[in-house]
Amino acid sequence: MIPVSERMYALGSNRSEIRELFEYGKKRIAEVGKENVFDFSLGNPSVPAPACVKETLKKLVEQTDPVLLHGYTSAQGDASVRKACADFIRSKHGAECGENDFYLTCGAAASLSISLSAIAGAGDEVIVLAPFFPEYRVFIAQAGMKCVEVKCREEDFQIDLDAFEKAVGPHTKAVIVNSPNNPSGAVFSRETIEKLASILSSAEKKNGRPVYILADEPYRELVYDEGIEVPFIPNFYNDTIVCYSFSKSLSLPGERIGYIFVSPKAAFHSEVYFAVCGAGRALGYVCAPALFQRMIPACLGKTSDISVYKVNRDLLCRELSAYGFQVGRPDGAFYLFLKAMEPDARAFCERAKAHDLLIVPSDSFGFPGYARIAYCVSTDMIRRSLPAFKALAEEYR
Ligand SMILES: Cc1ncc(COP(=O)(O)O)c(C=O)c1O
């Protein structure tokens, strides 16, 4: 018997399908050259961070006492940075809040695992809306809760509210809502969020205890068309905890910076906030990277040049449809959810791999039969990949 945790061993030795494919891509590049591999596996932004990031970091490094700059901040994050986040949320979304509703942390992944651990009780269930970010299963299991999967409607990937209502029960403690969505690109409409909120409010009354929405929002700013609204969930449902990240909006995924916002209107607000601080402590997430915390006030509301992603989305949607693929036209994030041309998405993605097209089968997203294309890559790579997509489609004629 190996002297380690079996669960942790399994998690570490079986890498996620996405990471596995990314590693394969690196190997393949070494064999056939970068220009011949079309890696759409990872949601790693290809557009550089906006100028405000570099300018602010430069100023901080040049003008701040390094002992202060690189030293520990408060466990929950520097107070002036949390105040800046609160001021921003108040002016942008009209939500009353203050610095003591914010906990700065290492991206959305940490925000989610901290928030789940903070609210977990024995026997609790968390509803996830498929297709969903596969790591949710890991975070929910780590918090000791049960993951309940509810599929979205296949025609538009909006929430299937009837199926959702049936899944909500006496043990439901939370629902993770990710919009704009990875991997479908769907943005849940205001009407959908209002109905979801009404179902949850009824469940709260019936159960006599809160059901929290964890709003997983790393893609909040990534929408491409006029008139697409990303509803700010705390304005529609009191018991909301926002798990935000700067990874995608500012193209900083490697820097690990984001925050948790516990809506001040949430039931047991101060208990939830203290439990967030406790979970941050227990999981070793105190004091998010200090330099990047201090970058936040100057960059709130800014994004990298997301017009590149719009060009990529439009190009892929147009060309892949012309080849006979079934693709929707996603409103946000930077993923395209492509219907596999055979029932087994893994077999389909293996055939794509033979053309050096690296796309992720949807099984681990809880929605079999599709493949995810991360289009946060260079437009040039997309153009060069088109003959390979065409050849793949022709195999199914
Ligand atoms: C839906 C979703 N949630 C959370 C995360 C984790 O984000 P972060 O890098 O900020 O931890 C990702 C990353 O791709 C994601 O797609």
Residues 28-76: pLDDT tens digits?
999 999 999 999 999 999 999 999 999 999 999 999 999 999 999 999 9
Q: What is the pLDDT of residue 58?
A: 98
Domain 6-50+305-394, CATH among 3.40.50.360, 3.30.950.10, 3.40.30.10, 3.90.1150.10: 3.90.1150.10
Backbone angles phi, psi at 326, to 5 degrees: -95, 105
Q: What is the pLDDT of residue 84?
A: 98
d(CA 136, ligand 1 centre) in Å:
10
Q: What is the pLDDT of residue 218?
A: 98
Q: Which two tokens stand for residue 233?
A: 């969930």
Q: What is the arithmetic mean of pLDDT over 341-366? A: 97
Query: How far is it, in rounded angstroms, from Cα 361 to Cα 134?
Result: 12
What is the signed CA dihedral for 10, 364, 259, 141, rounded to 10 degrees? -40
Residues 281-329: pLDDT tens digits?
999 999 999 999 999 999 999 999 999 999 999 999 999 999 999 998 8
Question: Does the structure show a pLDDT above 80 at 1?
Answer: no
d(CA 269, ligand 1 centre) in Å:
25
Binding pocket residue ranges, ligand 1, CB within 6 Å: 43, 107-109, 133, 178, 182, 216, 218, 245, 247, 253, 258
Q: Detail the DSSP E strand segments found in 12-122.
A: 38-39, 102-105
105, 135, 136, 245: residue to mutate for ligand 1 pocket, most atoms within 8 A of CB? 245
For the whole model, what pTM was predicted? 0.97
Radius of gyration of the chain (CA): 21
Query: How far is it, in rounded angstroms, from Cα 237 to Cα 198?
Result: 8
Give percent of the chain above pLDDT 70: 100
Query: How far is it, in rounded angstroms, from Cα 214 to Cα 195?
Result: 16
Which element (helix H / strand E) includes 28? helix 17-32
25-44 burial, b if ≥16 CB within 10 A, otherwise e? beebeeeeeeeebbbbbbbb
In the chain, where are the structural domains located?
6-50+305-394, 52-299
Nearest to 358 by CA among 17, 16, 130: 17
DSSP letter at 151 equals: E
Beta-carbon count within 10 A of 19 CB: 11
Residue with more model confidence, 238 or 10:
238
* Confidence band of 191 (pLDDT split at 50, 70, 90): very high
DSSP 322-378: HTT--B----BTTEEEEEPSSS-HHHHHHHHHTTTEE-EEGGGGT--SEEEEE--S-
Atom of ligand 1 nearest to the CA of 253: 9
d(CA 185, ligand 1 centre) in Å:
14
CATH architecture of 52-299: 3-Layer(aba) Sandwich (3.40)
Q: What is the pLDDT of residue 293?
A: 98
Q: What is the mean pLDDT of the chain?
A: 97
d(CA 203, ligand 1 centre) in Å:
28
Q: What is the pLDDT of residue 14?
A: 83
